[in-house]
A and B are shown apart, each in its own frame.
Chain A
Amino acid sequence: SQTIHQWPATLVQPVGSPLSLECTVEGTSNPNLYWYRQAAGRGLQLLFYSVGIGQISSEVPQNLSASRPQDRQFILSSKKLLLSDSGFYLCAWSVSLRVRPFFGPGTRLTVL
């Protein structure tokens, strides 16, 4: 069976510091991978998605970037965090032909 992992689970970072959130998927090959942000427990906003290694599509302009160095690894990064980057970050995966994204447990990021 497939599983999706995210870490860390929670993170508190100062403004201006770098960020690296990691997501890995097990039990499947060539998944579509996604990063979502959720503010105040409502409304998921798609940030990035990837259909393959090295292929990243950005949905909204922002202070964040994403990378996919391996088939089942998806990384969300920032060089300098802003207060507005605080939120709940969710990684998700899906197979390519059907829409059924499965979400990871999320990372709660607080920028102070």
Chain B
Amino acid sequence: GQQLNQSPQSMFIQEGEDVSMNCTSSSIFNTWLWYKQDPGEGPVLLIALYKAGELTSNGRLTAQFGITRKDSFLNISASIPSDVGIYFCAGQRGVRETSGSRLTFGEGTQLTVNP
């Protein structure tokens, strides 16, 4: 089956530092999504990428859809304590209305920000 390799598994940084995490796959995906999950809550969508090479920003977050369509990265600039949480990448190979949309998730990156 499809697998996403997300790295790093965990990061411990100081407030103000920049953060970078990425996902790679042996399969091509047509959509990449990045989610953040706070403890005990459901994941919240941060950024959605739909085109190879696309670079999208959402405040201090920037994500890119790799040219090969097999990878994506997420950068967080000037981290703050509330950035703490688990960040997940998710990929989808295609969207067909009859089959529904389906995602493959990475294992997550646990981010800890020390004030």
Contact = CB atoms under 8 A, between A and B. Distances in A.
A100 B44 contact: no
Nearest to B43: A103
Interface string B47-80: 0100000000000000000000000000000000
Chain A interface mostly helix, strand, loop or mixed? strand
A49 B102 CA distance: 8
A100 B102 contact: no
Contacts of A7: none
Contact of A104 (B39, B42, B97): B42
A57 B96 CA distance: 14
Interface in A18-34: 32
Nearest to A90: B42
Contact of B44 (A98, A99, A103): A103
Please classify how large the interface on chain B is, using the bins under 10, 10 to 19, 20 to 34, 35 or more.
20 to 34
A100 B31 CA distance: 10
Contacts of A92: 42
A46 interface: yes
B97 A99 contact: no
Interface string B85-115: 0101010100101111111011110100000
Interface string A75-102: 0000000000000001010101111111
Interface residues of A, number: 27
A99 B86 contact: no
13 contacts: A41-B37, A42-B107, A43-B105, A46-B103, A49-B102, A51-B99, A51-B100, A59-B102, A90-B42, A98-B95, A99-B95, A101-B45, A103-B42
Interface of B: 31, 33, 35, 37, 39-45, 48, 86, 88, 90, 92, 95, 97-103, 105-108, 110
